[in-house]
A = this chain, B = another copy of it.
Amino acid sequence: MNTLAEENYLKSIYHLSLNDVNVSTNQIAAALNTKAASVTDMLKKLADKALINYAKYQGVTLTAAGEKIALHIIRKHRLWEYFLVEKLHFKWDEVHEMAEEMEHISSIELIDRLDKFMDYPKHDPHGDPIPDRNGNFKKYELKPIAALNVNENGIISGVRDHSPAFLQYLGKQQLTIGKKIKVTEIIDYDLSMILQVEQTEIHISREVAKNLLIAI
């Protein structure tokens, strides 16, 4: 199988690939908190294993084999996050670091049984889709609340920023996955928004509105 470091590189490349077709050495270094020189070394190893397509100075893409591994790691990460929140009652801002370790537990049978135990959840606590055992999941487009006009509404379905600070803020404001929101006002001066969420009005900055996603 693959080492822990290899798994982390593949996962990072997958996530970065969602924004850019070719992923650069520096992007990976930033994501993994390591140095560009270390990334170059690992890219050679992953290319030797045919898990990425790599040409010097050109950036990388995942091969089908590499993507399969990445999606399996992501499946494990998200299923463990779901477990931690739904069964062990952690808050959604507390689980990411634990899942970063748990995603490397290797047994496939274990993760399939965990999936069944939790009745095949489709999304993790942050609204991100959980791939099935074959790596398949529905890709829906989400859009930021910032893209809405006054009187438009939607259902909170994801976040663009996964930092504990942002998640904690949202949790305190009751801006959690599944909540129905409606834009009641947009302040001209700073483009902040007033939302109707259940019985209450909540005032969020443009920054927050850009990072909070609704289903289209």
Contact = CB atoms under 8 A, between A and B. Distances in A.
A101 interface: yes
Interface stretch (A84-92, A128-136, A176-184): A84-92
Interface centre among A84, A88, A97, A98 (most CB of B within 10 A): A88
A107 interface: yes
Contact of A113 (B88, B97, B102, B110): B88
A114 interface: yes
Interface in A80-108: 84, 87-90, 97-98, 101-102, 104-107
A189 interface: no
Interface string A48-92: 000000000000000000000000000000000000100111100
Nearest to A87: B117
Nearest to A106: B101
Q: How many copies does the complex hold?
A: 2
Interface residues of A, number: 17
B98 A113 contact: no
Nearest to A114: B88
Nearest to A107: B98
B88 A117 contact: yes
A105 B113 contact: no
A89 B110 CA distance: 10
A84 B98 contact: no
A128 to B, nearest CB: 20
Nearest to A90: B113
A195 B30 CA distance: 65
A101 B105 contact: yes
Interface in A165-197: none
B117 A98 contact: no
Nearest to A94: B109
Question: 4 closest pairs, A vs B, by CB?
Answer: A88-B113, A98-B107, A101-B105, A98-B110
11 contacts: A84-B110, A87-B117, A88-B110, A88-B113, A88-B114, A89-B113, A98-B105, A98-B107, A101-B106, A101-B107, A102-B105
